[in-house]
């Protein structure tokens, strides 16, 4: 195989000595990085405009060790953030939260906050689309979970129910998102099936 730098691969099938073949399960990227690359692809392809929301921060103390550099010494979040991403896809407003868990058997609801649920309920009430993208890191599986499914578990938890969503429920009620080369976490395909 010829690489972009013009060099030829030294071996056709063998991995370099001391290293194993790269595994699909260990891509070295976080869910957020994969989603950011996906959103960039969607933007470049003219499919959607979706961005990560910046978290508002109040800077309190800054140190200037050099004229060309500033170091923030103290800062606080101005307010609780709502969700991670928002934008427009096929004429509809979308708003979603991305979460990773190292838990293999369930998604802990402690990863979600009341203000996020309230925000997503408001989005749905006004005709927007809200959902969660959940990655089970040990399984290397990513799911789109409609917010309405999470709301049911959230409300049940508030009434003394379980404090997590079982993996089998997410596998059954959510939608597994395939890993692709350009749109790494291709959630638009799932949205097409659900809403368009």
- Residues contributing to the annotated binding site for Mg(2+): 82, 84, 97, 116
* Relative orientation angle of helices 147-158 and 114-125, to the nearest 10 degrees: 130
48, 87 contact by CB (below 8 A) = yes
- Cite the annotated binding site by residue number: 82, 84, 97, 116
139, 110 contact by CB (below 8 A) = no
CA dist 22 and 150 (Å) reads 35
Sorted by sequence, the CB contacts under 8 Å of residue 80 that are 6+ apart come out as 113, 115
3-state secondary structure of 17: coil
Where are the alpha helices (H) located in the chain, listed in sequence order? 31-44, 114-125, 147-158, 167-173, 187-195
What are 183's two structure tokens?
């749109």
Phi, psi dihedral angles at 166 (to 5 degrees)? -60, 145
């Amino acid at each position: 195989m010829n690489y972009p730098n013009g060099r030829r691969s030294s071996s056709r099938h063998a991995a370099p000595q001391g290293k194993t073949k790269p595994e699909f399960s260990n891509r070295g990227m976080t869910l957020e990085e994969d989603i950011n690359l996906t959103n960039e692809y969607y933007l470049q392809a003219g499919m959607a405009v979706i961005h990560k929301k910046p978290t508002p921060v109040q800077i309190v103390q800054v140190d200037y060790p050099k004229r060309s550099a500033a170091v923030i010494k103290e800062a606080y979040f101005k307010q609780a953030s709502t969700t991670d991403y928002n934008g427009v896809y096929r004429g509809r407003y979308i708003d979603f939260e991305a979460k990773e868990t190292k838990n293999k058997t369930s998604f802990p609801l402690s990863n979600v906050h009341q203000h996020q649920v309230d925000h997503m309920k408001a989005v749905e009430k006004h005709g927007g689309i809200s959902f969660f993208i959940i990655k089970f890191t040990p399984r290397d599986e990513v799911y789109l979970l409609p917010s309405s499914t999470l709301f049911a578990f959230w409300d049940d938890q508030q009434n003394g129910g379980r404090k997590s969503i079982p993996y089998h429920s997410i596998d059954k009620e959510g939608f597994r998102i395939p890993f692709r080369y350009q749109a790494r976490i291709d959630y638009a395909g799932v949205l097409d099936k659900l809403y368009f």
